[in-house]
Amino acid sequence: MKTDQSSAPAAVRLHAAPPTRKLTILALDPSVRSSGKLLRTQIEIPNEVLSAGPRGYRVHIVDYDATTGSFRSPAPIPAGMNGESGPPCDPFEKLSEDRLLADPDFHAFMAYGIVMKTLARFEFALGRRVGWSYGGHEIHVAPHAFADANAYYSEQTRGLHFGYFTSADGERTIYSCLSHEVVAHETTHALLDGLRERYLYPSSPQQGGFHEGFADIVALLSLLSAQSVVAKVLDLGARKASGEFLPRAQITPEKLRRSGLFALAQEMGAELSGVHGQALRRSVTLQPRADYLTSGDYDEPHDCGEVLVAAVLNAYLEVWVERLKAIGDRRKLDRQRAAEEGAEIADRLLTMCIRAIDYCPPTDLQFGDFASAVLTADWELNPHDEKYRLRGALLASFKSYGIEPSSLCSASHQEGAWDRPPDGFQYANTNFDSLQSDPGELFRFLWENRGPFRLNEQAYTRVLSVRPSIRTGPDGLIVKETVAEYHQQLTVLARELRGLGVAKPSGMPADMAVTIYGGNALIFDQFGRVKYNIGNSILDPSRPEVQERQSRRLAYLWEHGAFDSGAARMRAFSRIHAQRGTSWYRSLRRPE
């Protein structure tokens, strides 16, 4: 054995080390060039003393290729990178383009960098450490995982797998780990699974679509929060651009969408079309229309997710163009400033979208729930929304794509945001301190308040998580909150459904065991009081819409074979991704 021990850093003076390091990555896929050159960027990620691999406290790169069955020894850590002599260096900053593309060590470091950056982005937005769904602390990453135009997150391997394949002309090898978008997308699947594990269970087209759509939103907004990428979009959008200035007439949401983002998608998809480049291409071509989700044509998870991506990207463009009105003169505007604004808006929107996850119900998510969650999460920290008016733009854009916020908010603070629950909870027996981190304490609180929480006493109830969270409020002061989620499941025989007000799917045998789910996300304020109670009751005789939702879900799952044995968990992203490519002969709609 020649690894690990030899590479373990012996004595590094960490006290002097800065909290972050810089690492060169490709901002966009190698197929995208700017004046003939690759688009490099330096990202800032948490600094740590790395072992060979690289391997750090959250990410373990394992260069194992399943197609050839071969393992490549961990990449050594270049001298200076662990801060042996001053601040940690970025060994790839000056490397030639050919070396970057061909060097498997760079591939490993780039994948490491983007996974770390995406993770840090989530932790920043949520104000706490974020874990993986499987309980371990590290995630494996295979940068050259197999010979296929595919990439996936697998809970089974506790890993992210990035394939490679030969280009259409047979000349070059394309590595999906060199696509910033692909790596960020797959990392987001893993992070979202850690935050909301129920979202990978079969439920409805929108819940499946949400995993895909959210991963695309995070990946695309991550790209767009790099100024060099935004500058590229501007150049593609405003064809008559010269030097430092852009002609104002060229800067419209439509132009940026059609020529800017679309052309960028084309360049990204030039070689990786089997894997991702498509998400952007498709989303920017979906014009606002309110009937996509009800038409039945968007039930496949990727298709469904694209509607959500389109709504967010549309809001992004609207806000950006609106903002550009404030800079430059009547005829032209400063290219640099315009790019800065674009990157800033993408960054803010990204924070909003990630933060929204805490405000999403833990089971049976619908896009309308996400819309309400985004609006609530942002209102909490930024009630005025004056500079960019992001909430207003998002709300309008969601509606234009047929995504109506689930909350019919009666309060006047923000249209579409969740309501605060009526105050009627019993806190007398709850220990405030343990309530912030102990699932057992939270369960006691739930049980003692089973009346106001409308818990179903026949169902099995479990607290999935309790996490303290620290965010900076609008006044600059620290806001301490506790974020928790619980979940209920009730298993009955199909013939008992009617008595509960839920329709039995036609053709389902009467003696079949059926499980229905419910669950809530709880936000406690700094005093340990329930601030939000967001979710789906398992059943609620006083609200027929709850039973209707369960009926719809069962009918959908029954139709799609989720009750067949072995289909209990559809935890197979790779399958969803592969289907993209094979959908031709299978994309016929079923006549049932």
Partner 1 sequence: MAAIPSSITVRMYNVGFGDCFLLTFHYGASERTARHMLVDFGSSAAPRHAPKDYMRRIAEDIARQTKGKLDVLVATHRHRDHISGFAAEGAGAGKIIAALKPDHVILPWTEHPDAAPDARAARFLGSLETMHELAGAALRTSRNPGFAGRETRAQLQFLGDDNLKNLSAVENLIGMGKRGKAWYVNAGMTLNTLLPGVNITVLGPPTLEQSDSIRTERARDPHEFWQFCNFWEARLRTLEAASKPATPPDDPPPSVRWFIQQTRRVEAAQMLELVRELDTVLNNTSVILLLEAGSRKLLFPGDAQIENWTFALRNPSWRKLLADVNLYKVGHHGSLNATPKSLWKLFHHKGSEQQPERLQSLCSTRSGKHGNARAGTEVPRRILVEELRKNSAFASSDEDCASGLSKTFEIRL
Strand intervals (E) in 335-472 = 460-472
**Binding test (CB under 8 A) with partner 1, winner from 99, 426, 567, 569:** 567
Under the binding rule (CB under 8 A), the answer on residue 591 touching partner 1 is yes
Number of residues near partner 1 (by CB under 8 A)? 60
Cα–Cα–Cα angle for 377, 380, 385, nearest 5°?
90
Question: Do 53 and 31 touch, CB atoms closer than 8 A?
Answer: no
Going by C-alpha positions, the residue among 456, 447, 451 that lies closest to residue 424 is 451
From the CB of residue 232, how many other CB atoms can be counted at a distance below 10 Å? 23
User: Residue 150 or 351: which CB sits closer to partner 1?
Assistant: 150
Under the binding rule (CB under 8 A), the answer on residue 592 touching partner 1 is yes
The one segment of 147-155, 208-216, 220-228, 244-252 that binds partner 1 by CB under 8 A: 147-155
Under the binding rule (CB under 8 A), the answer on residue 154 touching partner 1 is yes
Count how many residues are written for the chain: 592
Going by C-alpha positions, the residue among 223, 224, 200 that lies closest to residue 210 is 200
Output the DSSP codes for 337-393.
HHHHHHHHHHHHHHHHHHHHGGGS-SSS--HHHHHHHHHHHHHHH-SS--SS-HHHH
Which residues face 147 on adjacent strands?
164
Under the binding rule (CB under 8 A), the answer on residue 120 touching partner 1 is no
Strand intervals (E) in 228-318 = 245-247
**Binding test (CB under 8 A) with partner 1, winner from 244, 254, 297, 433:** 297
The one segment of 140-148, 221-229, 352-360, 546-554 that binds partner 1 by CB under 8 A: 140-148
The one segment of 21-29, 364-372, 380-388, 565-573 that binds partner 1 by CB under 8 A: 565-573
Residue 580 C-beta: closest distance to partner 1, Å:
7
Secondary structure letter of residue 53 according to DSSP = B
Here the tokens at position 553 are: 């879900």
Interaction pattern, residues 492-531, with partner 1; x per rule: CB under 8 A = ---------------x------------------------
Under the binding rule (CB under 8 A), the answer on residue 400 touching partner 1 is no
3 state DSSP class of 456: coil
Residue 507 C-beta: closest distance to partner 1, Å:
8
Element of type H or E holding 334: strand 332-334
> Taking the alpha carbons of 572, 578, 579, 585 in that order, is the dihedral positive or negative?
negative
Which residues face 514 on adjacent strands?
492
Question: Do 196 and 362 touch, CB atoms closer than 8 A?
Answer: yes
Does residue 54 have a cis bond before it (omega within 30 degrees)?
Answer: yes
d(CA 438, CA 427) in angstroms, rounded, equals 15
Under the binding rule (CB under 8 A), the answer on residue 590 touching partner 1 is yes
Residue position matching structure tokens 């790839």: 92
Residue 577 C-beta: closest distance to partner 1, Å:
10
The one segment of 215-223, 230-238, 364-372, 575-583 that binds partner 1 by CB under 8 A: 575-583
Under the binding rule (CB under 8 A), the answer on residue 71 touching partner 1 is yes
Residues 170-209 that bind partner 1 (CB under 8 A): 170
The one segment of 307-315, 358-366, 404-412, 574-582 that binds partner 1 by CB under 8 A: 574-582
d(CA 306, CA 212) in angstroms, rounded, equals 8
Interacting residues of 236 by C-beta distance below 8 A, sequence separation 6+: 259, 260, 263, 264
Under the binding rule (CB under 8 A), the answer on residue 68 touching partner 1 is yes
Under the binding rule (CB under 8 A), the answer on residue 573 touching partner 1 is no
Under the binding rule (CB under 8 A), the answer on residue 564 touching partner 1 is yes
Interacting residues of 428 by C-beta distance below 8 A, sequence separation 6+: none
The one segment of 367-375, 467-475, 547-555, 583-591 that binds partner 1 by CB under 8 A: 583-591
The one segment of 161-169, 252-260, 307-315, 549-557 that binds partner 1 by CB under 8 A: 161-169
User: Residue 515 or 587: which CB sits closer to partner 1?
Assistant: 587
Q: What are phi and psi of 482, to 5 degrees?
A: -120, 130
Question: Do 309 and 301 touch, CB atoms closer than 8 A?
Answer: no
Residues 303-362 that bind partner 1 (CB under 8 A): 303
Under the binding rule (CB under 8 A), the answer on residue 156 touching partner 1 is yes
Residue 261 C-beta: closest distance to partner 1, Å:
17
Q: What are phi and psi of 561, to 5 degrees?
A: 75, 15
**Binding test (CB under 8 A) with partner 1, winner from 92, 106, 146, 558:** 146
User: Residue 299 or 322: which CB sits closer to partner 1?
Assistant: 299
Under the binding rule (CB under 8 A), the answer on residue 244 touching partner 1 is no
User: Residue 206 or 227: which CB sits closer to partner 1?
Assistant: 206
End-to-end CA distance of the chain: give it in Å, rounded. Answer: 59
d(CA 467, CA 212) in angstroms, rounded, equals 25
Under the binding rule (CB under 8 A), the answer on residue 39 touching partner 1 is no
Under the binding rule (CB under 8 A), the answer on residue 3 touching partner 1 is yes
Secondary structure letter of residue 55 according to DSSP = B
Under the binding rule (CB under 8 A), the answer on residue 371 touching partner 1 is no
**Binding test (CB under 8 A) with partner 1, winner from 65, 123, 344, 525:** 65
Contacts with partner 1 by CB under 8 A lie at 1, 3-4, 60, 62, 64-73, 140, 142, 145-149, 154, 156-159, 161, 164-166, 168, 170, 273-274, 297-298, 303, 507, 561, 564-567, 574-575, 578, 580-592
